[in-house]
């Protein structure tokens, strides 16, 4: 397996191309850009440290909701369940 250095993930919606773009970025280079910006902490202990399918689904929904706050046109493509699925 290839060993990677730690990185942060950026998800961007490019409306003109109707694409989601995912980028891996050095956290140190990103730190000054994200300082004092909207932050949404997700406490893993609230999920019993289980990064399972439901956690991934809810994380994805949260990311799409955050993108939609700034670019509401993406909402026309969204058909997701906001609440946890039992």
Q: What confidence tens digit (pLDDT) does each residue in 24-36 have?
A: 999 999 989 999 8
pLDDT of 7: 94
Contacts of 31 (CB under 8 A, 6+ apart): none
CB 58 within 8 A of CB 82: no
Q: Is residue 3 part of a domain?
A: no
| Domain around 60 | 8-77
pLDDT of 85: 78
Its pTM stands at 0.82
Domain count within the chain: 1
Q: Is residue 31 part of a domain?
A: yes
pLDDT of 67: 94
Query: Which regions of the chain are under pLDDT 50?
Result: none
Q: Is residue 1 part of a domain?
A: no
Q: Is residue 85 part of a domain?
A: no
pLDDT of 27: 94
Q: Is residue 83 part of a domain?
A: no
Helices and strands in the chain: count of H runs, count of E runs = 2, 2
pLDDT of 1: 82
């Amino acid at each position: 397996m290839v060993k990677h250095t730690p990185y942060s993930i950026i998800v961007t919606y490019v409306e003109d191309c109707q694409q989601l773009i995912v980028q891996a970025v050095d956290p140190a280079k990103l730190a000054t850009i994200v300082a004092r910006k909207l932050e949404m902490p997700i406490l893993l202990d609230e999920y019993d440290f289980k990064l399972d399918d439901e956690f991934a689904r809810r994380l994805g929904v949260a990311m799409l909701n955050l993108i939609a706050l700034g670019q509401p046109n993406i909402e026309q493509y969204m058909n997701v369940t906001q609440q946890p699925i039992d």
